[in-house]
Amino acid sequence: MWATVAMVAASLVSPAHATDYAGPLFDAHLHYNEEAWNGTTGPHPLRDVLDRIQRNGVRAVIANSRPNDGTRALAAARAQTQAAALTVVPFIRLYRNRADYDSWFRDESIYEMVQTEFARGTAAGPYRGIGEFHLYDSANANGPVARKLVQFAERNNLAVLAHVDDVAVDLLMAHAPQGGANLRLIWAHTGIGGPAAARVDELMRRYPRLMGELSYRPGLACEDGLLCPEWRVLLLKYPDRFLVGSDTWVNQRWLYYDDLMRGYRRWLGDLPADVARRVAWSNGAALFGLP
Ligand SMILES: [Zn+2]
């Protein structure tokens, strides 16, 4: 009997931790920017990033880069990506350089660049989305080019990867037909400013095709690297709507790629197996029709 009491007490103090999620990962927020490979080799040439991706069990990536050459290079490395069992899902980035971050939403030359890039495609097939783009001031979601690009995306069945606040989610959705009912908007970081879980819940309910990507999400992980209670509830409530991503926006994130993926595997392992598998892999795979 004492043994039973002791076991119960021990289980209350340190709940048995499920093993880390061991299945495939879909990295829904990967950048292969100029400074990572420098147009030729750089600190993270293709061989290096593909090694990092492969050794972490990442089997598909949403690839985008500033400028788009990095994405095209990844897409063109067919022999290497196939050897790494990796599917590259290419997105058109709206930035030729850093200056474009602050003006793309009203810059007609960006709209033209996107058209040209879309028509050109990649060696891994047509582009499947646009972004990541940023709106530091949500009002700029109403910029003329932002409006046109949302409509362009919807027309061409492209997903949209947007680093925006919750107000801008509503504004961007309003540019799409049927109030955004069919717009495949992937909310980068699910709001890096950390809108309350209740607000995320409200947006998920309102927009049936809104997806939340979880890198850099404030308040997501709590003790022992497991999900905070309100986020656990959200993921269980919307198991088909969340994705994980690395956000390799600076080279340092490549250095920590192993740690980032290990962190995801830890909290994923604490979810029911079917939910973990969806968030880790199947939701991204379903978005782009991967097997
Ligand atoms: Zn990013």
Q: pLDDT truncated to tens, each residue of the chain (291 aa)?
A: 444 444 444 444 445 467 999 999 999 999 999 999 987 778 999 999 999 999 999 999 999 999 999 999 999 999 999 999 999 999 999 999 999 999 999 999 999 999 999 999 999 999 999 999 999 999 999 999 999 999 999 999 999 999 999 999 999 999 998 888 899 999 999 999 999 999 999 999 999 999 999 999 999 999 999 999 999 999 999 999 999 999 999 999 999 999 999 999 999 999 999 999 999 999 999 999 998
Cα 92 to middle of ligand 1, angstroms: 13
CA of residue 221 to ligand 1 center, whole Å: 19
Report pTM: 0.93
**Cβ density class 17-53: b for 16+ within 10 Å, e for less:** eeebbeebbbbbbbbbbbebbeeeebebebebbbebb
Q: Quick one: DSSP state of residue 17?
A: P
> CA-CA distance, 61 to 125, in Å (whole number)?
14
Query: Which pLDDT does position 17 carry in this prediction?
Result: 61
For residue 8, what pLDDT is reported?
42
How many CA atoms does the CB half-sphere of 238 hold within 13 Å?
Answer: 22
| pLDDT for position 114 | 98
Are the C-beta atoms of 67 and 251 separated by less than 8 Å? Answer: no
Cα 161 to middle of ligand 1, angstroms: 9
Tell me how far apart the terminal alpha carbons of the chain are, to the nearest angstrom. 51
**Which of 201, 207, 256 lies closest to 231 in space, CA to CA?**
201
- Of the candidates 122, 141, 120, 155, which has an alpha carbon nearest to the alpha carbon of residue 187? 141
C-alpha 16 to ligand 1 mean position (Å): 35
Query: 270 CA to middle of ligand 1, Å?
Result: 26
The CA dihedral of 261, 267, 269, 270, to the nearest 10 degrees, is: 180
Strands 58-64 and 25-31: parallel
- Residue 39's pLDDT is 74
Q: Measure 136 CA to ligand 1 centroid, in angstroms.
A: 13
Helix (H, G, I), strand (E, B) or coil at 15: coil
Contact predicate 189/162, CB 8 Å: no
